[in-house]
Amino acid sequence: MDISFIGSGNLAWHLAPALDNVGYTVKEVYSRDPKHARALVGRLYQADVKSTLDFSDSPSDIFIIAVSDDAIQDIVREIILPDDSILVHTSGSQSLNLLGFAATLNTGVFYPLQTFSKAKKVDFNDIPIFIESEVDEVNKVLMKMAKSISKKAKTISSENRKALHVAAVFASNFSNHMLTISKSIAEKYGVDFEVLKPLIAETLNKSINIGPENAQTGPAKRGDMEILDTHLEFLKDDPDVAEIYRIISQHIIDQSE
Interface residue with its own copies among 65, 168, 236, 257 (CB under 8 A) is 168
Interface residue with its own copies among 23, 83, 121, 190 (CB under 8 A) is 190
Binding mask 205-224 for its own copies (x = CB under 8 A): -xxx--xxx-xxxxxxxx-x
Q: Does 171 bind its own copies (CB under 8 A)?
A: yes
Q: Which stretch binds its own copies (CB under 8 A): 35-43, 52-60, 140-148, 166-174?
A: 166-174
Q: Does 163 bind its own copies (CB under 8 A)?
A: yes
Q: Which stretch binds its own copies (CB under 8 A): 22-30, 48-56, 81-89, 204-212?
A: 204-212
Q: What is the DSSP string of 149-181?
A: H-S-EEE--HHHHHHHHHHHIIIIIIHHHHHHH
Q: Provide the minimum distance between the beta carbon of 225 and its own copies in the complex, in angstroms, as a whole number.
A: 10
Choice between 96 and 241, CB closer to its own copies: 241
Q: Are strands 107-112 and 129-132 parallel, antiparallel or unpaired?
A: antiparallel
Q: Does 240 bind its own copies (CB under 8 A)?
A: yes
Please, which residues bridge with residue 64 across strands?
A: 5, 88
Q: Are strands 86-89 and 62-65 parallel, antiparallel or unpaired?
A: parallel
H or E stretch covering 107: strand 107-112
| 40, 22 Cβ separation under 8 angstroms | no
Interface residue with its own copies among 1, 80, 105, 169 (CB under 8 A) is 169
Interface residue with its own copies among 78, 126, 137, 229 (CB under 8 A) is 126
Choice between 96 and 168, CB closer to its own copies: 168
Q: Does 156 bind its own copies (CB under 8 A)?
A: yes
Binding residues among 91-110 for its own copies as defined by CB under 8 A: 93
Q: Tell me whether residue 195 is exposed, middle or buried, using C-beta atoms within 10 angstroms of its C-beta: 0 to 12, 13 to 18, 19 or more.
A: exposed
H or E stretch covering 243: helix 239-256
Half-sphere exposure of 128 (CA within 13 A, CB side): 10
Q: Which stretch binds its own copies (CB under 8 A): 28-36, 96-104, 132-140, 235-243?
A: 235-243
Q: Does 201 bind its own copies (CB under 8 A)?
A: yes
Start-to-end CA span in the chain (Å): 55
